[in-house]
Amino acid sequence: MALLDNIRRGKHFKKGSLISTSTNTSGAWMSPEGMHPFSITVSGDFSATSVVVTIYVDDGDSAPSDADANHATLKVFTITAPQAAPPAFTLDAPFEWIKAVTTSYAGTQPVTVNFEASEANSRY
């Protein structure tokens, strides 16, 4: 699933789910096309679910095809049940590619990682 484009209040936005899973999963590379600032949220019922969510980024011309470990780690969320969802993460930096990976998954509830970016000075 690709990130969705839309225009709200005269500004260009990209939004979508990087991953939604109940297992250890490596999501697809998605292109925010360098749009920033952006935010990442991790949601789920963490009363009985533990997981490590790693966000990777890349600035190549095309989506990476090699191992995730070969790319920059933007953020790691380590969630140990029981706990509340982690705080949102925001950054004002452009990246061409972004993906989410879940590891050490233990539980029954799905984990969702969402992305949203806006062009702060859009003239649309």
pLDDT band at 120 (very low <50, low <70, confident <90, very high): low
What does pTM read for this prediction? Answer: 0.90
Q: pLDDT tens digits for 36-92? A: 999 999 999 999 899 999 999 999 999 999 888 899 999 999 999 999 899 999 999
Dist CA 39 CA 32 (whole Å): 11
CA 79 to chain centre: 15
Dist CA 34 CA 54 (whole Å): 19
3-state secondary structure of 106: strand
Adjacency order of strands within the sheet including 25-26? 25-26, 97-106, 50-58, 72-79
Average pLDDT over residues 7-30: 91
Nearest Cα residue to 81 out of 55, 119, 48: 48
2 Cβ contact list (under 8 Å, min separation 6): 16, 30, 31
Q: Read off the DSSP letter of residue 83.
A: -
- Does CATH place domain 4-118 in 2.60.120.380? yes
What confidence score (pLDDT) does residue 71 get?
92
